[in-house]
Amino acid sequence: MLIGYSRVSSASQDHASQLDALEKAGCQKIFVETESGTKADRTELKTMLEFAREGDAVVVYRLDRLARSLRNLLQIVDDLTRRGIGLQSLTEAIDTSTPSGRLAVHVFASLAQFEAEQVKL
């Protein structure tokens, strides 16, 4: 099963483009969350991760919609991989069910972390 996860940081933002992309990707279940990505305890993320089963794939619009940091993203990817669950990112065209996809998630996550740190400077 393809399981979608859409997150925006505030109520003034819109889920529409993420939901449209997730639906077009064929997600059968989509979890929707309005919370800051920096918040460690996100209810819908936790529920989605508990819902996913071996053979499923979690689908996100972009990697930064899923995790709050590089370390957090890698923890999520490691947990999903250990449980036999894939991760697909539509924007970055990543699928962690393949070796090249697992490499790509690390590269893109590192670039996203670098970009976030540059904004802080």
Which helix H or strand E contains 60, and what residues bound it?
strand 57-60
Task: Write the DSSP symbol of residue 94.
Answer: E
110/29 Cα distance (integer angstroms): 29
80/58 Cα distance (integer angstroms): 9
Dihedral (CA of 60, 62, 64, 65) sign:
negative
CB 109 within 8 A of CB 70: yes
Given 9, 10, 17, 89, the catalytic residue: 9
Whether 12 is catalytic: no
Catalytic residues, which ones?
9
